[in-house]
Structure 1
Amino acid sequence: MQDALSTRQDLFADFRHVDFWIFDLDNTLYPQDLNLMVQMRTRTYDYIRQLLDTDHTGAAELYERFETVYGTAFNGLIIEHGIDPHVFLDYVHDIDHGLLVPDLQLADAIRSLPGKRVIYTNGTVGHAENVLKRLGITDAFDCIFDIVWADLDPKPHRAPYERLFAQMGADPKRAAMFEDVARNLEIPHALGARTVLVSPEFLGRSRHTDRAAADVALGYIDHVTHDLRGFLAGVLNALPDNRHNEDDRPGTF
């Protein structure tokens, strides 16, 4: 595992062959401290509270149990309570995106990556489009793959990863994935992809939290960074100039 201090040689060796770049959306393309996920969690608590006529504490406890047992609260609500998934998704993603601001340097870095660039999110296409529009990076991606496309089967389950590679005609061994949730990198690593954990808790070899240290000790994380923009700049700097992507056509969704 290499951290954000990876050398140019490290990055060249790990990414020189990559031509398929997969990016998670929330807390990966924008800073975690903007708390958009907190808004969505609060909306989920409200949905559970109204659905089951419980209080905030009861809703939070159910949320945690669903996350533990089913991987997501969304799955738990479908399995145990038969909710309409589309009503739930519309409700939870009805949040304020106003804290997001354009990140032109990130947009330029992603556009310059050679090959295909896609979003793969457990959220919805509508939410992803709102985020990308606010960040000014809509045209940096070729496709958005969301929870509806995945037949409501969320990360970290294996099937949607395999479907993603198959649909794009991509070789996992020529792929790289960027994620803020460590467990979501296990399957792509097992399939042969390079994996990068985007973690604000990791600030280098000498300064990181116990949680970040536990994450990077996992065998399926190749790199970790708290600065996605800087990490991608390092990757691009390590690659030959003729590998940079000069195709800036708008993404297709």
Structure 2
Amino acid sequence: MSPKSALPDPSAFAHVTEWVFDLDNTLYPRHTDLFSQIDKKMTAYVRELLDLDHDAARGIQKKYYREHGTTLQGLMLHHGIDPNDFLEKVHDIDYSWVKPDPALSDAIKALPGRKFIFTNGDTPHAERTARALGVLDHFDDIFDIVAADLKPKPAPETYDRFLAKHGVHKEKAAMFEDLPRNLLAPHALGMRTVLIVPNNLDVVLDEVWEHEGKDGGHIDHVTDDLAAFLTRIVS
């Protein structure tokens, strides 16, 4: 087992009082598969907008996602879409797929200091997801794509905007994310970084490039069980 993948020494987080969590495929595990619903909605949106067949629309969707951080950003830049219309339509999904996670709820509640959700999605989606997980009440606030002025992670200025908005002390912060590229800026800022990976990484990922850099020096810890990882910190 890689040292990064081992359960953490709690002393590594003794200084942390600002806990920052991505939402999708981070607070809930990738095998929950909630994001696949959003993914299909985005393909359908691109298909209707540009009058393309499914494969061509999906190709454009993924190209924009990779190049611009989100499909939304690419559609805004290249096609001038209404972001509110996009966000409403792609988050019209079935949240019953997300099940309560009492262990995660207890672990997040026990963390000392403030807790934030920092997502490239919107606040209504984050609230519905966190409520389904049973963790919403433990968070001090949600920083969403609207608060980011529609500039998604991994843009460094988006992290700066988050820190400034909430007065987060970066040297006392930890960031939990499922995408390695979204941990580059937090690491550069001096935040402790934790990468969340699925149990069977090579099997479940259809966008393998998303996890390029997963062994990079900007990642301090790796875990496939967020609840166990957090429980170890506060034990």
Structure 1 and Structure 2 fold alike (TM over 0.5)? yes
Task: Extract unaligned runs of 5+ from structure 2.
Answer: none
Contact 2:114-2:139 at 8 Å conserved across structures: yes
Q: 1:13-51: CA deviations, max 9, x gaps?
A: x21100000001111111111211111111000000001
CA distance in 1, matches of 2:199, 2:213: 10
How has the CA–CA distance of structure 1 residues 157 and 2 changed in structure 2, closer, same or farther, with 3 Å as cutoff? farther
Give the corresponding residue for 1:175: 173
Task: Give how far 1:3 is off.
Answer: 2.3
Contact 2:114-2:140 at 8 Å conserved across structures: yes
Q: 1:136-176: CA deviations, max 9, x gaps?
A: 11111000110011110100001121111112212111100
Query: Which shows bigger deviation, 140-149 or 96-105?
Result: 96-105
Give the corresponding residue for 1:5: 6
Give the corresponding residue for 1:241: none
How has the CA–CA distance of structure 1 residues 211 and 3 changed in structure 2, closer, same or farther, with 3 Å as cutoff? farther
Structure 1: 4+ residue segments shifted above 4 A:
209-214
- One-letter code of the match for 1:193? M
Q: 1:202-232: CA deviations, max 9, x gaps?
A: 79xxxxx998996442110000000000000
CA distance in 1, matches of 2:211, 2:145: 29
Rg (Cα) greater in structure: 1
How has the CA–CA distance of structure 1 residues 7 and 52 changed in structure 2, closer, same or farther, with 3 Å as cutoff? closer
Correspondence list, 1:149-160, <5 A: 149-160=147-158
Contact 1:177-1:185 at 8 Å conserved across structures: yes
CA distance in 2, matches of 1:211, 1:167: 31
Task: Extract unaligned runs of 5+ from structure 1.
Answer: 204-208, 238-253
CA distance in 2, matches of 1:199, 1:235: 18
Query: Which shows bigger deviation, 30-39 or 150-159?
Result: 30-39
Give the corresponding residue for 1:250: none
Contact 1:186-1:220 at 8 Å conserved across structures: yes
CA distance in 2, matches of 1:75, 1:107: 32
Instruction: Indicate yes or no: 2:116 matched with 1:115.
Output: no
Secondary structure class of the residue paired with 1:195: strand
Correspondence list, 1:92-107, <5 A: 92-107=90-105
Query: Which shows bigger deviation, 156-165 or 83-92?
Result: 156-165
Give the corresponding residue for 2:137: 139
Q: CA RMSD of the aligned region, Å?
A: 2.0
CA distance in 1, matches of 2:75, 2:3: 38
Task: Give how far 1:93 is off.
Answer: 0.6
Q: How many residues in Structure 1 have an aligned counterpart in Structure 2?
A: 229
TM-score scaled by length of structure 2: 0.92
Q: State percent identity of aligned pairs.
A: 46
- One-letter code of the match for 1:174? K
- One-letter code of the match for 1:3? K
